[in-house]
Amino acid sequence: GGAFNFILMRGVAIYSPDSDSFAFKLASTGGRHSISLSTVAQCLADSPGGQQLMSDYRSFMRNYHEDSRGDQMALTLLQLIDFYNPARPGLSSMRTVDSVQQGYLVLLKRYIDSAWPKHCACNVYFRLLNRLTELESLGQRFGSLCNTVGFRYEELNPLLVELFQQRDDPWRAITKAWSFRAHHKPRFDS
């Protein structure tokens, strides 16, 4: 989940709803390039559920851009909130990770309160946090699809290989997180 969540959120950062494509700059050439989502979806046409997954990912990205007005700072804070998730498997200090996540939750709330009109800031905050639930589902589905089609993560760069090699029982992590969350409610005070 975590590795795919990170990759999916990076996709949101370079997604252009106007052209329905990913726009990016290649380090090797310095030039700007883009690839349409329909091209990516076509690559998944023969994969079981691939087209539907891409459609759901498109909706996720469009909804994020609609909710946040495409705000990159809000996206970065959401990425940090997701990254410092105390539900991640194999954590030795769940409380420390939760504490860091709480700080980013407060920072996101303050940022939204300052960047959006007062009458809609609370709604924006909760809509963006709800995107993280969708992200978790998408990450798990992309992971399953990659396992089904025989994705060879070993061909990626070393950091991503390390992320993909993090194997653990996801249900144990989810159960552990819900148990932890039930006893430690989020704090939104100063």
CB–CB of 52/144 below 8 Å?
no
Return the CATH number at 80: 1.10.565.10
pLDDT of residue 116: 94
The token pair at 57 is 């990912």
Instruction: Give the pTM.
Output: 0.72
Report the distance separating Cα 88 and Cα 148, nearest Å: 23
- 190 in a domain, yes or no? no
- 189 in a domain, yes or no? no
Report the distance separating Cα 75 and Cα 6, nearest Å: 11
- 178 in a domain, yes or no? yes
- Residues 129-168 pLDDT 10s: 999 989 988 988 887 777 666 655 554 445 444 444 444 4
pLDDT of residue 163: 44
Count of Cβ atoms closer than 10 Å to residue 90 Cβ: 9
Show the CA angle centred on residue 2, arms to residues 114 and 106, nearest 5°: 20
Q: How confident is the model at residue 31 (pLDDT cuts 50, 70, 90)?
A: confident
- 188 in a domain, yes or no? no
SS3 128: helix
Number of domains the chain contains: 1
User: How far from 82 is each of 46, 48, 51, CA to CA, in Å?
Assistant: 31, 27, 25
Domain of residue 174: give its range. 2-183
